Amino acid sequence: MLDRTLPPAYHPITGFDLIKPAHLQFSNGLQAFVFNAGEQDVVRIEWIFANVFAQDEQALLNTCASELLLEGTASYSSKQIAELVDFHGAFLVPEYGYDQSSLTLFSLNKHLSQLLPVVKDILTDAVFPEKELATYIRNNKQKLQVSLKKNSFVARRLFNKTLFGPSRYGSVPDIADYDRISREALLALFKQQYTPSNCTLVVSGKATDEVIAMLEGLFGDSWPAEGGSAPVDTAPAISGTTGLLVVDERKDALQSAIRLGYQSIQRSHPDFPGLQVLNTLLGGYFGSRLMANIREDKGYTYSIGSGLASLKHSAFFTISSEVGVEVTKATMAEIEKEIRRLREEPVEKAELALVKNYLMGTMLGSLENVFSHADKFKNVYFSGLDFEYYDYYTDVVNAITREEILRLANTYLDYENMIKIVVGKYEA
User: What residues numbered 87-116 form the site for other proteins, per CB under 8 A?
Assistant: 87-90, 106-108
Per rule CB under 8 A, is residue 40 in the interface with other proteins? Answer: yes
Per rule CB under 8 A, is residue 179 in the interface with other proteins? Answer: no
CB atoms near residue 218 (< 10 Å): 17
Considering beta carbons, is residue 116 or 360 the nearer one to other proteins?
A: 360
DSSP 3-state of 358 = helix
Considering beta carbons, is residue 136 or 415 the nearer one to other proteins?
A: 136
Considering beta carbons, is residue 9 or 74 the nearer one to other proteins?
A: 9
**Contacts with 186 (C-beta within 8 Å, 6 or more apart), sequence order:** 61, 64, 65, 68, 128, 133
Binders of other proteins among residues 50 to 89 (CB under 8 A) are 70, 78-79, 81-83, 85-89
Residue 90 CB, nearest approach to other proteins (Å)? 7
Q: CB of 279 within 8 A of CB of 319? A: no
Considering beta carbons, is residue 80 or 417 the nearer one to other proteins?
A: 80
Per rule CB under 8 A, is residue 8 in the interface with other proteins? Answer: yes
Site string for other proteins, 156-175 (x = CB under 8 A): --------------------
CB atoms near residue 50 (< 10 Å): 17
Considering beta carbons, is residue 56 or 296 the nearer one to other proteins?
A: 296
Q: Residue 213: exposed, middle, or buried by beta-carbon count in 10 A (0-12, 13-18, 19+)?
A: exposed
Binders of other proteins among residues 329 to 388 (CB under 8 A) are 353-355, 357-358, 360-362, 364-365, 367-369, 371
Among 32, 34, 42, 69, binds other proteins (CB under 8 A): 42
How far is the C-alpha of 163 from the C-alpha of 153, rounded, in Å? Answer: 15
How far is the C-alpha of 405 from the C-alpha of 344, rounded, in Å? Answer: 10
DSSP 3-state of 255 = strand
The amino acid at residue 325 is V
Sign of CA dihedral 159, 162, 168, 172: positive
Enter the DSSP assignment of 77.
B
Residue 13 CB, nearest approach to other proteins (Å)? 5
Binders of other proteins among residues 217 to 246 (CB under 8 A) are none
Considering beta carbons, is residue 11 or 23 the nearer one to other proteins?
A: 11
Strand partners, 42: 108
Binders of other proteins among residues 128 to 147 (CB under 8 A) are 135, 138-139, 142-143, 145-146
Number of residues this chain uses to bind other proteins (CB under 8 A): 73
Binders of other proteins among residues 269 to 328 (CB under 8 A) are 285-287, 295-302, 322-324
Residue 284 CB, nearest approach to other proteins (Å)? 11
How far is the C-alpha of 77 from the C-alpha of 88, rounded, in Å? Answer: 17
Binders of other proteins among residues 246 to 275 (CB under 8 A) are 252-255
Per rule CB under 8 A, is residue 39 in the interface with other proteins? Answer: yes
CB atoms near residue 8 (< 10 Å): 5
- In terms of DSSP H, where are the helices of 92-178? 112-125, 130-147, 151-164
